[in-house]
Structure 1
Amino acid sequence: MAHIVNTEQEQAWNGYEGAHWAHHQDRWDAVNEGFNDILLTAAAIGRTDAVLDIGCGAGATTRLAARHADEGRATGVDLSRPMLERARASAHAEHIGNVTFEHGDAQVHPLAGRGFDVAVSRFGVMFFGDPAAAFANIGSGLRAGGRAAFVVAADGEGNEWIQALTGLRGLLPMGGFGVTGGPGMFSLADPDRIREVLTAGGFTRIAVERVEAYGRWGQDAEDATDFLLGSGPGRHLLHQVDEATGERARSELADILRRYEKDGAVRLRSVAWLVTAERP
């Protein structure tokens, strides 16, 4: 039985949220794939490298890392059993033999001394209960001189999908949705906070760069609306209002997203911080 200390996130990602991401793996990959080249270029994975992918989810970035390290290995770690099942199935279907997936909490998962050359993550390191402890544990899994490259969510204001949802503030109880600070999706939206927790975790040569990419959220406004409101955050908001209000919110969101329709798709900009660091 894996040791888990981040129990709140463990419950979320093994409940509706994890099942939704696993079932809609291809759609979530289409949302986030614009950051793949940005992340992997920064990681500079060599053919013989051992790569650690933190918060690997359904394993898209782990499989990409394994292809780059075709004479090495890639290991994905995640809390979500449904997403890891999908990750293993996808790796098998794509005949990628140098990739493995482990269920665990990166804050306490046994990583120390495993000699990874590089650690990567695409939006998987923002949910730690104790970020400094988690990054210290990740660093312990890297060899001396090993490097890290992470993409984390930047401010909500720069993300068009957040802007679209907050446009429903008159109908849905948005509260602090999209607000920076943790814990949660925007826990590392402040570059100073990023440097603080990585320094506390023992990393050096920390660099933070703002990047952006467009993701495909649906084939049209109605499709994108259904997807957004079926996700964990959207579903949570709808469950706090009555059915009639929810339908009004759905209609207004479709109207907002219609302005982003082009060439058979709804594409929205996301902004992120590209973080690189080294283990001394």
Structure 2
Amino acid sequence: MSHTERASVANPEQAEAWNEGDGRHWVAHRDRYDEMMKGISSHLFEAAAIAPEDHVLDIGCGSGQTTCTAARGAQHGQALGIDLSAPLLEEARRRAKGENLVNTRFEQADAQVHPFAAASVDVVISRFGVMFFNDPVAAFTNIARATRPDGRLAFLCWRKPLDNEWITELGAVLASYVPLSGSLDNDGPGPFSLAASGRITDLLHTVGYTQISVDPVDEPMRLGDDVNDVLDFVSQMGLVSSLLDKADEETRAKMLHALHERLGSHETAAGIFLRSAAWLVTARRPGWAPDIETSER
């Protein structure tokens, strides 16, 4: 039986995606994604304010960069990274071992249903890993239960697609050739499910968080060195590759040429950059939480 089959999963479609094409793409381009997220990640860790003794939970840890950063901050504590993707977790464990981080653990788990020890972590973080739940209320209730009274939550999630140049530039080109089926900007599981700040606030209030703050963060993302490098990368991304696959050979060639032209307009001596727009969300678990039991570390 595979790791995926053993894990308790409430979001099977996401588990399938991240254990197959999406997960393999992130593993293949680990260093590129780390570079793309570098600027925006600094906001997350400043807000999380991880202390040396903290126990940190990283939701949707991917290939482990954020978990390893948390572990270095919590040098006398521990960082636990969880993700649905076995390929990404394998990469994360390799990274932690290479960095000799003995206070780091990784588990294949779905945060919506995983039986975390109650009140066992001081800080919960996530870099774009909390937008994919079928039932966000259940998921954040479970995450809150794992957090100690007065514990902290800090995460990044994307704002609207139209606010994100990395979406609008690629999408505008592709839409000229094939219909963009469905909407990225909706409440269902997906990268933009928490794009509305009011939805975030209502959700966290519902599950009992206090001191909720939702602040905009805008950072350029470096997609790669030059046009050919970036075109090869983006053409393998799930959203782009699925649209390319819908086209016949002639149309596909035209789409790739148009993408090449559009990306070229953003090329600089330092590489190709497109703007990103996210929410930085912080909140606290109430200091008095009678519904959870404090666990021993």
Q: TM-score, normalised by structure 1?
A: 0.97
Q: Which amino acid aligns with 1:210?
A: P
Higher alpha-carbon deviation: 27-36 or 85-94: 27-36
Q: Does 1:126 align with 2:131?
A: yes
Higher alpha-carbon deviation: 105-114 or 75-84: 105-114
* TM-fit CA distance, 1:208: 0.2
Which protein shows a greater Rg? 2
Unaligned runs of 5+ in 1: none
Q: d(CA) in 1 for partners of 2:65 and 2:223?
A: 17
Contact 2:214 2:279 in 1 (8 A): yes
Q: Does 1:86 align with 2:82?
A: no
Question: What secondary structure does 2:107 align onto?
Answer: strand
Higher alpha-carbon deviation: 168-177 or 216-225: 168-177
2:202 alignment partner, one of 196, 203, 227: 196
Name the CA shift for 1:32/1:172 in 2 (closer, same or farther; >3 Å): farther
Contact 2:184 2:190 in 1 (8 A): no
Deviations 1:135-160 (A, max 9, x none): 01011111000010000000111211
Q: d(CA) in 1 for partners of 2:70 and 2:178?
A: 40
Match of 2:289 in 1: none
2:237 alignment partner, one of 231, 235, 254: 231
Unaligned runs of 5+ in 2: 1-5, 287-297
Contact 1:173 1:240 in 2 (8 A): no
Deviations 1:248-267 (A, max 9, x none): 11111111111211124111
| Residues paired across the two proteins, number | 280
Q: d(CA) in 2 for partners of 1:243 and 1:94?
A: 45
2:120 alignment partner, one of 104, 115, 125: 115
Match of 1:276 in 2: 282
Question: What secondary structure does 1:167 align onto?
Answer: helix
- State how 1:95-174 maps to structure 2 within 5 Å: 95-168=100-173, 169-174=175-180
Q: Does 1:185 align with 2:186?
A: no
- State how 1:223-262 maps to structure 2 within 5 Å: 223-262=229-268
Q: Does 1:267 align with 2:273?
A: yes
Contact 2:159 2:195 in 1 (8 A): yes
Question: What secondary structure does 1:230 align onto?
Answer: coil
* TM-fit CA distance, 1:197: 1.6
Q: Does 1:213 align with 2:219?
A: yes
* TM-fit CA distance, 1:114: 4.7
* TM-fit CA distance, 1:116: 0.5
Question: What secondary structure does 1:77 align onto?
Answer: strand
Deviations 1:199-236 (A, max 9, x none): 22221211100001111111112211221111111111
Provide the alpha-carbon RMSD of the alignment.
Answer: 1.2
Q: Which amino acid aligns with 1:233?
A: L
Q: d(CA) in 2 for partners of 1:279 and 1:139?
A: 7
